[in-house]
């Protein structure tokens, strides 16, 4: 059997090379675009700027059982409070400081904390039961859709768990080191879609303000979300 050879001249080979570079450059331009909008962000198939900008994003916080303080004494020391108040304090910080940090980071979207809005009472949600970390096949999508309609929710960030690791300071006048780790998912609740799921962390050395920890966490989360963010 005679083999057939596809012989191409210099002009054809040159065109192929140019075509390859065009594809590579297009990919680089696309990646640069995503990374250049304030900071890196992800892309989600089927969601362009028209679907993502100027939307209401709700933040759903984990139950207290899924908020872990690895060293309550060191955490309390960093806040200047008694250790007995550590659990209540971290819950307050999550509700206020993380919501504010995310709302301030996203460029055109409004971030609201689910439990503090009327929809939180109309459609009570237990994140651990209704949206357990892992397979979204077990999630209560009916409740998610109902919440989206009742609360006018475009996107829902479910914070599955949070862990805070604190170290006692080594010298006077310092507050030690602090690391926060969060596992979260981004949902399109009305359409019943899981858009992305990630675990991120942020570290702060000698946190002078509790808000600094959540600013760092919001930056880490924003890099795993498809929304435009403000430039630093």
The structure's pTM equals 0.81
Residue 145 belongs to domain spanning: 49-222
* Cα angle: 137, vertex 134, 131; to 5 degrees: 65
Question: Which pLDDT score, from 0 to 100, does residue 41 have?
Answer: 85
DSSP, res 64:
G
Question: Which pLDDT score, from 0 to 100, does residue 187 have?
Answer: 98
Q: Does 174 reside within a domain?
A: yes
If pLDDT is split at 50, 70 and 90, which confidence band does 64 have?
Answer: confident
> Which stretches of 61-127 are assigned E, i.e. beta strand?
67-69, 110-113
CATH of the domain at 140: 3.40.50
If pLDDT is split at 50, 70 and 90, which confidence band does 210 have?
Answer: confident
If pLDDT is split at 50, 70 and 90, which confidence band does 173 have?
Answer: low
Q: Does 2 reside within a domain?
A: no
Q: Collapsing DSSP states into helix, strand and coil, what is residue 125?
A: coil
Once rounded to an integer, what is the mean pLDDT over residues 183-188?
Answer: 98
Once rounded to an integer, what is the mean pLDDT over residues 24-28?
Answer: 32
Residue 32 in tokens? 């640069």
Q: Does 15 reside within a domain?
A: no
> Rounded distance, CA 75 to CA 83, Å?
8
């Amino acid at each position: 059997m005679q083999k057939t050879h596809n012989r191409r001249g210099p002009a054809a080979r040159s065109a192929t090379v140019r075509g390859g570079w065009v594809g590579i450059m297009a990919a680089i331009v696309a990646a640069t675009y995503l990374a250049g909008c304030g900071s890196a962000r992800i892309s989600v198939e089927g969601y362009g700027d028209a679907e993502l900008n100027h939307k209401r994003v709700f933040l759903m916080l984990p139950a207290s059982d899924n908020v872990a303080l690895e060293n309550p004494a060191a955490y309390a020391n960093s806040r200047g409070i008694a250790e007995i108040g550590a659990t209540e304090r971290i819950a307050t910080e999550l509700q206020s400081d993380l919501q504010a940090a995310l709302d301030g980071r996203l460029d055109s979207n409004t971030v609201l904390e689910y439990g503090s809005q009327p929809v939180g009472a109309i459609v009570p949600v237990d994140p651990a039961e209704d949206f357990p970390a892992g397979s979204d096949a077990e999630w209560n999508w009916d409740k998610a859709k109902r919440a989206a309609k009742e609360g006018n929710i475009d996107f829902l960030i479910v914070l599955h768990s949070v862990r805070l690791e604190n170290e006692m300071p080594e010298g006077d006048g310092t507050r030690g080191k602090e690391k926060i780790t969060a596992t979260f998912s981004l949902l399109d609740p009305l359409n019943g879609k899981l858009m992305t799921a990630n675990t991120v962390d942020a570290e702060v050395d000698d946190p002078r303000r509790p808000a600094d920890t959540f600013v760092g966490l919001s930056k880490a989360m924003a890099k795993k979300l498809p929304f435009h963010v403000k430039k630093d």
